[in-house]
Amino acid sequence: MIETHLPALIALNFLAFSVIIPLFGMWRVQWSQPLAVLGGGISAILSVYGFITYVNDTPLRYFFGAWEPPIGIEFVYDGLSAFVIMVINVIAFIVLIHSGPISVKEFPRKRMAYYSVAMLMMLGFNGMVLTGDLFNLFVFLEIASLSTYALIAIGEKPAPFAAFRYLIIGTAGGTLFLLGVGFLYTVTGTLNIIDMTAMIPEFADNRAVITGTILIVTGIAIKAALFPMHGWLPDSYTFASSSSSALIAPIGTKVAAYVLFRVILYLFGIEWADLVIPLTWIIGVLASIGILYGSIMAIAQNELKRMLAYSSVSQLGYIILGLSLANPYGFIGALLHLLNHAVMKACLFMVAAHIRMKEGHSDISRFNHTYRKKYPWTMFSFSVAAISMVGLPPLAGFFSKWYLALGTIEANSWVFLTVILFSSLLNAVYFFRILEKVYMKDPFADKEIPDDQAQPDEVKPSMLWTTLTFAAALFLIGIFNVAIVAVLLNIFPA
């Protein structure tokens, strides 16, 4: 039963829990978070199980109600979707555990609605990854987007404004995507991705197909916050509640990036995507500019969450740059970075949540050396994630950059290689700036802050061990990256 219905179970489980949570939550609001954790846990376990079982098999095509396309709905569970599903569900599960105390502190009366919507958002993301046809992709995209707007709106005072802005931009993205799908449909007469792939060689130089492709890629690029379509992201991540930013930042843009993978590498394939316009070159250039722009803007920020948001713009660039290289090393690097960045960003946003919870702000200029004594483990996790972001071995971040660098060399793209290496230095600037403040007395300060009274004052254990889990994961992924890379090499198309 589980075997045959696995893809559907992973996604629909979230739908079930989005209904169960209000049912129990109206009765006992404090049950909302444990139920969400349970829901996230079930999907996480199923997706890990599915990944281990099916990763080397032929793709699993699941037809809902046994109706085959074009009539029925199809989920495709292949190596790529299994990998991405596993990453997002496991991360979401751990972040949901972590979010308990934050939800009590930041929005005690909205917990039931929050966790129910979070489940819907996960349904949307899972559906986007698993779906086998482009129209359902749009449907799930909208489910995920609408839930994301709602989650972001729960936050500080400017949060609804940020969410509204995201709504406007995001809807434009969704519409462009739908328009593009329409163009493809009129030419090919199908919405099913696998069917469409078979027809692409016939229509690859058709103007409607080219227009459709550009519209689809643009629409998704907005969701993935690819430069220069990233404008919605910094405000949304900054003003949303700490639990939302920790949940959305590692996952949301990754799923959009996954869709780009799906469309460019699988739907069109490397040779057809670049037939008329140099599509991969264009997104590679945009990604490179985004990498540098995001890093430079991150250096200029004084608010930790905003800095991390700009850093996300930059890191997304790595993933898309790897995609644009369209060679095995670039592909491995991009997917490994998708995993690494999800873990690192989750860890970093969780640390930001800890600081907000204890200090009431996350303003970098007010960080000081007492944090080292007050939050030793939080700061340890931060240091590990930061060093991994800079890309120093043997942490995970080094290896994704290593494969990306090999990919750029194989593609003879010396400019891209320089971008990847140079941005590591920019990362070092904005992360070491914080490490310096936290681990050292500031000799430039006007008045000295005494640290004699500082006592350990860590957050609740449930928040601490989840953060430390991510920090430990960065070591493990780094040292045992070959196991992951071997799997990723297998799923490289062509």
Please identify, using beta-carbon distances, which residue of 11 and 485 lies nearer to other proteins.
Answer: 485
Q: Is 472 in the site for other proteins (CB under 8 A)?
A: no
> Closest by alpha carbon to 52, among 120, 3, 112?
3
- Tell me the β-bridge partners of 60: 77
Nearer to other proteins, 27 or 444 (CB): 444
CB nearer to other proteins: give 202 or 436: 436
What pairing do the DSSP bridges indicate for beta strands 60-63 and 74-77?
Answer: antiparallel
Closest distance of CB 331 from other proteins, Å = 13
Both tokens of residue 165? Answer: 């802005």
What is the smallest separation between the CB atom of 232 and other proteins, expressed in angstroms?
32
d(CA 12, CA 205): 38
- According to the binding rule CB under 8 A, does residue 292 interact with other proteins? no
Least spacing, CB of residue 478 vs other proteins, in Å: 9
61 bridge partner residues: 76
Counting contacts by CB under 8 A, is residue 479 touching other proteins? yes
Question: Rule CB under 8 A: is residue 449 a binding residue for other proteins?
Answer: no
Q: Please tell me whether residue 299 binds other proteins under the rule CB under 8 A.
A: no
Residue selected from 224, 390, 438, 463 as contacting other proteins according to rule CB under 8 A: 390
Q: Which residues pair with 303 in a beta bridge?
A: 363
| 80 near other proteins, judged by CB under 8 A | no
489 near other proteins (CB under 8 A): yes
User: Kind and range of the H or E element at 471?
Assistant: helix 461-479
Q: Which of 432, 465, 475, 492 binds other proteins (CB under 8 A)?
A: 432
Q: Does 27 bind other proteins (CB under 8 A)?
A: no
DSSP state, residue 308: H
> How far from 416 is each of 124, 254, 269, 297, 432, CA to CA, in Å?
33, 21, 22, 19, 24
- Give, as one character, the DSSP assignment of residue 133: B
Choose, by CB under 8 A, the member of 4, 158, 480, 490 that binds other proteins: 480
Q: Which of 27, 58, 365, 443 contacts other proteins by CB under 8 A?
A: 443
Cα distances (Å, whole numbers) of residue 378 to 351, 415, 438, 463: 6, 37, 11, 9
Identify which of 395, 394, 392 has the alpha carbon closest to the alpha carbon of residue 421: 392
Span 300-359, contacts to other proteins by CB under 8 A = none
Window 103-142: contact mask with other proteins (x via CB under 8 A): ----------------------------------------
482 binds other proteins (CB under 8 A): yes
Dist. CA 412–CA 408, nearest whole Å: 6
Cα 482 to chain centroid, rounded: 22
77: β partners: 60
> How many chain residues are in contact with other proteins, going by CB under 8 A?
33
- Scan residues 250-269 and list those touching other proteins (CB under 8 A): none
Q: How far is the CB of 265 from other proteins (least distance, A)?
A: 20
Q: Which is nearer to other proteins, 29 or 405 (CB)?
A: 405
| Identity of the residue numbered 48 | V
* By CB under 8 A, residue 288 contacts other proteins: no
Altogether, the residues listed in the chain come to a count of 494
Q: How far apart are CA 337 and CA 291, in angstroms?
A: 13
Could you say whether residue 485 binds other proteins (CB under 8 A)? yes
Give alpha helix (H) positions in 189-241: 193-203, 207-223, 233-239
**Burial (CB count <10 Å: 0-12, 13-18, 19+), residue 415:** exposed
410 binds other proteins (CB under 8 A): yes
399 binds other proteins (CB under 8 A): yes
Binding site for other proteins (CB under 8 A): 387, 390, 392-394, 398-399, 401-403, 405-406, 409-410, 417, 421-422, 424-425, 428, 432, 436, 440-441, 443-444, 479-482, 485-486, 489
